Structure 1
């Protein structure tokens, strides 16, 4: 077949159409028939859109280190030194993003570990559970909830993903200074 024959030109034109139309057809098939779209979730904790914001929780003495900080709050109804140490180590494992996260111990006797704040329950809440960990966004909305037996590495993975997907505001450094 000669280089400039009508059949060669048609073949080139069909290849050009395929290059542009094939990705569109594949994308339509993915949307319509859910091909290649993961069904599983990416967070290891339980999403908690039904919980009230932190400001509405029956707590006294709630504090964060920074205005734009994410908050790790864990329920500590009895001596919980091991659990407090666990979340302190997780906080340190965040590395350069550790300054974007504050820790809050809810209840429990004794002094808090360095860098953590404490708050006391003023009344019983229906969602309260011993050993539970909640992650709050900078506005105080609960994002994730973890049971007491969750692996620390899974919480770290979720926190790193949250902090990566939600970069610090450009003026956040000015707020700290």
Structure 2
């Protein structure tokens, strides 16, 4: 081999090595930066993001606050005071003030299975009360982290007399009919796929409220308890409040 051909071969080998090194370097950059770029593009461009959800109830997003219900407890105190509001001057009350049958030692706000509706506690109302009671029981050792509240525009003495007997530890609060309608409308406006004509379609509803007073899920009154139970188990597992 002549000196010239040897030099040419060495140059070609060097160029090949450089190309390989460049390809490897580009590959490393691609591994690190391409997923980052794709994720950024998906986030800001709102494309390719899964639309499915794992919850069975209708998600209220952004959440509405329980204060919008403008309800008062048996002692005439605002219902929202039963939640641990992290605000100056907040005065969270014990849940035993909401229900005389509750444990007097309880001092923390809980997750709430809330039943709301207008006028008489009809068949839909009683079905909803039965469902949330069974869900509460089925939570087992986590049941103590949850309480049940009925809010309607009827005074407690106007409700069917057997409600207290059939639903021990059920707390009862009252509000005005207009507040109930506004509350349901506010919840509907934050639910995906709900049209104006559907906002007041259900007089009685079941809601999930977190210990801070955020209303986060909604179910129709006749929803099967298994769906609500699955959501509650997931929420209690993921949450360290209440």
Q: What TM-score results when the alignment is normalised by the length of structure 1?
A: 0.70
Name structure 2 gaps, 5 residues minimum. 1-11, 76-97, 182-201
* 1:24 maps onto 2:45 in alignment: no
Pairwise CA RMSD: 3.5
Matched residue, 2:231: 158
Aligned partners of 1:5, 1:140: CA distance in 2, in Å? Answer: 65
Paired residue secondary structure (1:68)? coil
Aligned partners of 1:142, 1:7: CA distance in 2, in Å? Answer: 60
Of 70, 77, 83, the match for 1:56 = 70
Q: Provide, for residues 107-153 of structure 1, a one-character-per-residue CA deviation record: whole Å limited to 9, x for no partner.
A: 53222446522325365444267532222221334333332132323
Matched residue, 2:47: 35
| Shift, 1:55, TM fit | 8.3
Q: What TM-score results when the alignment is normalised by the length of structure 2?
A: 0.55
Q: Which has the higher helix share?
A: 2
Matched residue, 1:96: 141
Matched residue, 1:13: 25
Name structure 1 gaps, 5 residues minimum. 170-177
Identify if the C-alpha distance between structure 1 residues 40 and 25 changes in structure 2 by more than 3 Å, giving closer, same or farther.
same
| Shift, 1:37, TM fit | 0.9
Matched positions, count: 169
Aligned partners of 1:168, 1:31: CA distance in 2, in Å? Answer: 29
